[in-house]
């Protein structure tokens, strides 16, 4: 199997005042809602649909039970953006030790990219990371929010994070297997790109 060099950048905010929110998209067609019922089917749909063309593969082999166990962990939250009732993208938050919250996954389904939804969704998700303890008894107040992005992610990902007030704190480059981008199902991204 061939390999490629992947650069991963880790970014952080250390105060709620660091967040620089994006403008809300024009009109009232976009809403963001927390997916409060743990649903492996829905979470896997979001994961595969958002990350299928940018090589998100680490969770594709997860069993139903593993998805359920992950989603039921106290403090794990999925916030979903809807455009006129259709899921457009999501942010997954995962609390860690000592008041740290990681934005584990963030992105848009390809058909919704380039519509000014991403900045708004990221802004909303970061704000929910900062106030996560208000929704979970026993969680310490958030002191730090962090995220990582890599050279395989969308071309505007890094700029979006920096515009929202994230600062770079670590960079790593590693050789990884060159896996194909599976799309939400095998061949889906190829068909969409070819206009078929």
Q: Secondary structure of the chain in the HEC alphabet?
A: CCEEEEEEEEEEECCHHHCCCCCCCCCCCEEEEECCCCCHHHHHHHHHHHHCCCCCCCCCCCCHHHHHHHHCCCCCEEEEEEECCEEEEEEEEEECHHHEEEEEEEEECHHHCCCCCHHHHHHHHHHHHHCHHHHCCCCCCCCEEEEEEECCCCCCHHHHHHHCCCEEEEEEEEEEECCCCCCCCCCHHHHHHCCC
Q: What is the pLDDT of residues 44-80, one digit of tens each?
A: 999 999 998 888 888 989 999 999 999 999 999 999 9
Q: What is the pLDDT of residues 164-186, one digit of tens each?
A: 999 999 999 999 877 776 666 66
Domain boundaries, the chain: 19-177
Q: What is the pLDDT of residues 76-121, one digit of tens each?
A: 999 999 999 999 999 999 999 999 999 999 999 999 998 889 999 9
pLDDT of residue 191: 43
pLDDT of residue 2: 86
pLDDT of residue 16: 98
Architecture of domain 19-177: 3-Layer(aba) Sandwich (3.40)
pLDDT of residue 185: 64
Is the pLDDT reported for residue 140 higher than 50?
Answer: yes
């Amino acid at each position: 199997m061939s390999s490629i060099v992947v650069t991963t950048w880790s970014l952080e905010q250390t105060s709620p005042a660091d967040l620089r929110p994006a403008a809300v998209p024009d009109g009232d067609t976009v809403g963001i809602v927390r997916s409060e019922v743990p649903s492996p089917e829905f979470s896997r749909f979001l994961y595969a649909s958002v990350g299928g063309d940018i090589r998100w593969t680490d969770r594709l082999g997860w069993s139903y039970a593993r998805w359920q166990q992950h989603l039921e962990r106290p403090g794990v939250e999925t916030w979903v953006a809807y455009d006129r009732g259709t899921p457009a993208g999501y942010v997954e938050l995962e609390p860690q030790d000592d008041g740290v919250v990681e934005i584990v996954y963030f992105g848009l389904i390809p058909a919704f990219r380039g519509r000014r939804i991403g900045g708004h969704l990221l802004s909303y998700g970061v704000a929910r990371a900062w106030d996560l303890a208000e929704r979970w008894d026993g969680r310490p107040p958030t002191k730090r929010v962090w995220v990582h992005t890599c050279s395989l992610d969308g071309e505007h990902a890094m700029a979006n994070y920096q515009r929202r007030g994230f600062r770079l704190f670590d960079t790593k480059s590693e050789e990884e297997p060159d896996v194909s981008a599976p799309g939400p199902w095998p061949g889906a991204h190829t068909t969409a790109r070819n206009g078929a």
